[in-house]
Amino acid sequence: MTTALPARLKLIAVLVAAIGINVATGLIGVAPAAHAQAKESVRPELAKPLQAAQDAIRAQKFKEALNRLQAVDAIGGKTPFETYMVDRTRGAAAMGAGENELAGRSFESALNSGRMNAGDQAKVVQALISLYYRAQDYPKAIVWMQRAIKDGTADNETRALLVQSYYLSGDLPRAQKELQNDMAAADRAGRAPTESQLQLMANLASKSNDKAAYVATMERLVANYPTKAYWADLLSRVQGKPGFADRLVLDLDRLKLALGQLSTTADYMEMSQLALQAGFPAEGKKIVELGFSKGVLGTGAEAARHKRLQDLANKNAAEDLKAMAANEAEAQKDKDGTALVNLGYDLVTAGQTDKGIALMQAGITRGGLKRPDDARLHLGLAYLQAGKKAEAIKAFKTVQGTDGAADLARYWIILTNRPMA
């Protein structure tokens, strides 16, 4: 992050505007109450070359301005005020010429003179921040950013540059602490952290190998600035979390499908096979058909294998549809609600959402479920398929545990509240 050239030139113009010289009178115009005396004199022999240097700065002829100041340097016996004016002018010229070290020395000397009012001090401090940051002298940039914060003149950009400076100087713990403070302030104000803040926080978490903090930050990114890249990064880490249950791979694939993250032949083959194995043949059939419609299945060296899977999915789906009435009668006899929940979700995937949801609710109410969180997760998905977002979110919020189901439910809530564009 570097200060753009137009912004830098604008800052230089502001710095020079308050120090114009009236050569005829030899007086320097300064802002009111800059110091004890409203105006101080500059000798005519010094005022003339100083005025020429300032004119060159306004014309963006910064090297010429520095050359003009050589005539000023040759004049001896300068008063403290004359020295201050020369330092300030030289700082602006050197900044424009890209001579950061000279600009820094000159501005610091002008600040230390005690002759600036608060407004001019803020401008010069901002100039020092800009030039030291551009020069990648982060320790010095940090000093002046802290000065701006202490003086109460720091804006959001200064705060962002402070965090970035700590990061670039290798002080990761301090960068993380400052960034956490800024993000907490945004939360208290009821606004989301900026995308760049969240990106940097994720980077800091990655560098410190804090996996939990990284995932938490990625969740905030997809919640506030959803992109396929952020979602892909987040979902790639879910399955690798300790304790993630293999039975939830199909549920992870369902989320990937909704996000457009399934793309390869292997993706579609795996998901359709998992759906068939889980007892949801209508869903398996839909995935196969989608793979064929996208040209992902049905082509290449394994086209025959894809066709066999399609035939199997069609056969199972047809048989399942015929057996649903009998399956419901059997499920109603069970003491626990597992069969009702599974049959209900099977009906939902076959397009019978209202009846399927009613059976799922009955099964959850009956209880005795081996995996109640899976049931509530699937109920949320059923509501989504029925277009009932509020009910879906309510169901997702009841999913608990540490095996991955709660993570998937939370991600469905995020996606429901902030769909991909």
Q: How confident is the model at residue 295 (pLDDT cuts 50, 70, 90)?
A: very high
What integer best gives the mean pLDDT of the chain?
90
Q: 280, 304, 332 — which closes off a domain? A: 332
221 located within any domain:
no
CA–CA dist 153, 387 (Å, integer): 50
Asked whether residue 303 falls in the same domain as residue 346, the answer is no
Question: Is residue 59 located within the same domain as residue 31?
Answer: yes
* Whether 19 and 153 share a structural domain: yes
Would you state the pLDDT for residue 22?
A: 42
Domain boundary residue, one of 295, 317, 332: 332
- Of the three residues 332, 354, 369, the one that is the final residue of a domain is 332
Q: Clarify whether residues 52 and 155 are in a common domain.
A: yes
Looking at the structure, tell me whether residues 26 and 114 fall in a common domain.
yes
Answer yes or no: is 227 within a domain: no
Mean pLDDT of 48-76: 93
- Checking if the pLDDT of 167 tops 50, the result is yes
Q: Region 67-82: what's the mean pLDDT? A: 93
Percentage of the chain modeled with pLDDT above 90: 78
Q: Is the pLDDT of residue 188 over 90?
A: yes
Residues 314 and 299 in one domain: yes
| Same domain assignment for residues 346 and 306 | no
**226 domain residue, yes or no:** no
Pair 87, 100 in one domain: yes
Residue 392 lies in a domain: yes
Query: Domain span at residue 29?
Result: 5-169
Tens digits of residue pLDDT in 299-323: 999 999 999 999 999 999 999 999 9
One domain for residues 377 and 317: no
Average pLDDT (63-87) is 93
C-alpha angle 150/153/159, rounded to 5°? 80
**Co-location of 315 and 351 in the same domain:** no
Number of structural domains (the chain) is 3
pLDDT tens readout for residues 30-40: 333 344 444 67
Residues 127 and 86 in one domain: yes
* Residue of higher predicted confidence among 15 and 30: 15
- Give the model confidence (pLDDT) of 146-164 as tens digits: 999 999 988 888 999 999 9
| Mean pLDDT score, 207-230 | 95
pLDDT higher for 65 or 27?
Answer: 65
In angstroms, the CA 50 to CA 53 distance is 5
In a domain, 189, yes or no: no
If asked whether residues 17 and 129 sit together in one domain, one would say yes
Judge whether 351 lies within some domain.
Answer: yes
Here the CATH number for the domain that contains residue 407 is: 1.25.40
| CATH number, domain containing residue 21 | 1.25.40.10
In a domain, 181, yes or no: no
124 found inside a domain: yes
Predicted confidence (pLDDT) per residue in 106-122, tens digit: 999 999 998 888 888 88
* pLDDT tens for each residue of 118-135: 888 888 898 889 888 988
